[in-house]
Amino acid sequence: MSGAGGRTSGDGGCLSGNDEGANAVGPGPVIQVEDLSYAYGDRVAVDGISFEVARGEILGFLGPNGAGKSTTIKMLTGQLTPKAGRAAILGMDVRGDNAAVQAHIGVCFEEKNLYPNMSAKENLVFFSRLFGIKRFNPLPLLERVGLAERAKDRAKDFSKGMKQRLMIARALVNEPSVLFLDEPTDGLDPVSSQAIREVIEEEARRGAAVLLTTHDMLEADALSDRVAFINEGRIAALDTPENLKLQHGRRAVRIRTREYTGDREYAGDRGSTGVREDGGVREEVIGLDEAGAGERIKAAVASEGLMTIHTEEATLEAIFIKLTGRGLEG
């Protein structure tokens, strides 16, 4: 396939492009960002952030609305010009080589920018022609996002989730080396959300570098190889979800035991002594780093009244609040 870079009309929607060798990713980071900044008038939206994304890696940008996530993506995709700093995609500067950069990327924003009177199939075919892609077959992409049976239906008749899946398909028309996704599952039903997550993981396995913005900590935890906490335009932490939990979270065990207040017993299903009646339930959380934690856990496990025992770990949202002092919905 061959073609030239470009974008669809409007501020939102998907950008995508393609040329020969668009998927030939060389060594080194696919996305490189150094001290990148942007301001809307006097309001600083992105304040000197730096990060890298490798081939086949999913980096989750986790933060509340207005934290600078979408502005960062818009700078990296050429929709906004950075006020300071440097950003490169596949070694190409996003300022000087914008057209070349867009030939290698796929982008989807929250805003829907479909042609409502066109069918799903026609939307993809039209978009492929904008970039000179010849002999394009939209059905495999529609199959991937679960819309093959609705290929001939007009986009205006689609639900929000179906429109978002079609937007994802549009971003993949050129098999991009870099994929930018801005809140890809926000407000969607579980079926649509899961379908989109599966496509994102497939793209990473194919070798695409993925930058995913979200304020959904469960999504970030499930999808991301690494997570960047962004707050007020700055990166507060950047690491794997596991390392962030180990470094900043509290590891604990939650134990529920029955406290006996009576002496009556009954025979269990296999003739053994069962649970005594009239018992209250006691719940205890033991931090694994606390002094004597091992002995307390052993004692609970050996207790006749043990009901349940579960390990616990901090959530990304709890860690975000700890590091920034604000919630993800703030």
Q: Which of 19-33, 88-102, 231-245, 301-315 is modeled with the greatest confidence?
A: 231-245
DSSP state of 120: H
Phi, psi of 276 (to 5 degrees): -80, 150
Domain range list for the chain = 14-241, 250-312
- Terminal-residue alpha carbon distance, the chain: 44
CATH class of 14-241: alpha beta
Residue 24: helix, strand or coil by DSSP?
coil
In this predicted model, what pLDDT tens digit does every residue of 154-199 receive, in sequence order?
Answer: 999 999 889 999 999 999 998 899 999 988 888 788 888 888 999 9
Distance from C-alpha of 206 to C-alpha of 187, rounded to nearest angstrom? 27
* Stretch 133-147: mean pLDDT: 92
In this predicted model, what pLDDT tens digit does every residue of 31-62 receive, in sequence order?
Answer: 999 999 999 999 999 999 999 999 999 999 99
* Stretch 89-107: mean pLDDT: 87
Phi, psi of 290 (to 5 degrees): -75, 150
In this predicted model, what pLDDT tens digit does every residue of 208-259 receive, in sequence order?
Answer: 999 999 888 888 898 999 999 999 999 999 999 999 988 887 777 778 877 6
Residue 264 has pLDDT above 50, yes or no: no
- The H-or-E segment that residue 198 falls in is helix 190-206
The predicted pLDDT at position 111 comes to: 65
Residue 15 has pLDDT above 50, yes or no: no
Distance from C-alpha of 328 to C-alpha of 316, rounded to nearest angstrom? 10
Residue 80 has pLDDT above 50, yes or no: yes
Q: Which two tokens stand for residue 254?
A: 């939650």
The predicted pLDDT at position 81 comes to: 94
Kindly state the percentage of the chain with pLDDT values over 70: 83
CA torsion, points 37, 40, 43, 47, in degrees to nearest 10? -10
Question: Radius of gyration of the chain from Cα atoms?
Answer: 25
Residue 95, CA distances (Å) to 40, 50, 191, 287 in order: 18, 17, 38, 50
Kindly state the percentage of the chain with pLDDT values over 90: 45
* Stretch 95-115: mean pLDDT: 83
Any idea how long the chain is? 330
- Which residue type is seen at 82? P
Angle at 75 between CA 161 and CA 162, to 5 degrees: 10
272-296 exposure pattern, b = at least 16 Cβ within 10 A, e = fewer:
eeeebeeeeeeeeebeeeeeeeeee
Which of 78-87, 186-195, 276-285, 298-307 bottoms out in mean pLDDT, i.e. has the lowest?
Answer: 276-285
Q: Compute the mean pLDDT over every residue in the chain, rounded to the nearest whole number.
A: 81
Q: Which two tokens stand for residue 18?
A: 């393609």
- Which residue type is seen at 181? L
Strands of the 209-214 sheet, one edge to the other: 14-16, 105-108, 178-182, 209-214, 58-62, 226-231, 234-239
Instruction: Read off the pLDDT band of 274 (50, 70, 90).
Output: very low
